[in-house]
Amino acid sequence: MIIAVDGPTASGKGTLARALAGHFGLPHLDTGLLYRAVGRQVVLNGGNPDSETDALAACNFPMDLLNEPELRSEVTGGFASRVSIHPAVRNALYERQRNFALQAGGAVLDGRDIGTVIAPEAEVKLFVQASVEARAARRYAEMIETGRTCTLKEIAMGLKERDERDANRKDAPLRAADDAIVLDTSELGRDAAIAEAIELVKRKIS
């Protein structure tokens, strides 16, 4: 069984995907982390994330980069959104994601184009969304917890800019698949959102 979990930044899709993977005993891949690694590697290379040539070169990032805490920062998230608009970058990472999705037994993948591009044949497709206000509040709490400094307004502006780029990019834009189940987590706490996601998957496969 393949479960595709898509949605914008800070919608809660990563938390739900990990919980679904644990509940159904499936391996999990956070595909957004791959793009964050490319964005981070561009910076380490002294390149420009808006340059397709620089971004493509950064696709050869070392695997241990995926464990770097900086990948979770807002700045790196912005770089990830910028490199993800390049078709060459998406093509370079496509096979890695596709192979993970098609492994024996199935998998859970979360990102922005899993149900539409990476695994359109997924048995279950969830599109997780939340208001900008709710998402900004969550990200702000995460930043405070990790000791990072950033204002709520800055985070909200960053989310809006990233949403705009992701939804309007020419290649694999962020959108819900036609057969996706939409789950709005704006008013849901973590446990309630997880319980609802599990229930939605169960209903879909029953």
Burial of 71 (0-12, 13-18, 19+ CB in 10 A): buried
E strand or H helix at 110: strand 107-111
For tokens 């497709």, name the residue: 125
Q: What is the pLDDT of residues 15-60, one digit of tens each?
A: 999 999 999 999 999 998 999 999 999 999 999 999 999 999 999 9
Give the chain's mean pLDDT. Answer: 93
Q: What is the pLDDT of residue 71?
A: 93
pLDDT score at 162: 87
Q: Which domains does the chain have, with CATH numbers?
A: 2-205 (3.40.50.300)
- Helix extents (H) in 58-114: 74-83, 87-101
**pTM score of the predicted model:** 0.84
Question: What burial class does residue 108 get, using C-beta atoms within 10 Å of its C-beta: 0-12 exposed, 13-18 middle, 19+ buried?
Answer: buried
- Residues in the chain with pLDDT values less than 70: none
Residue 189: per-residue pLDDT = 93
In the prediction, which pLDDT does 133 show? 95
pLDDT score for 170: 81
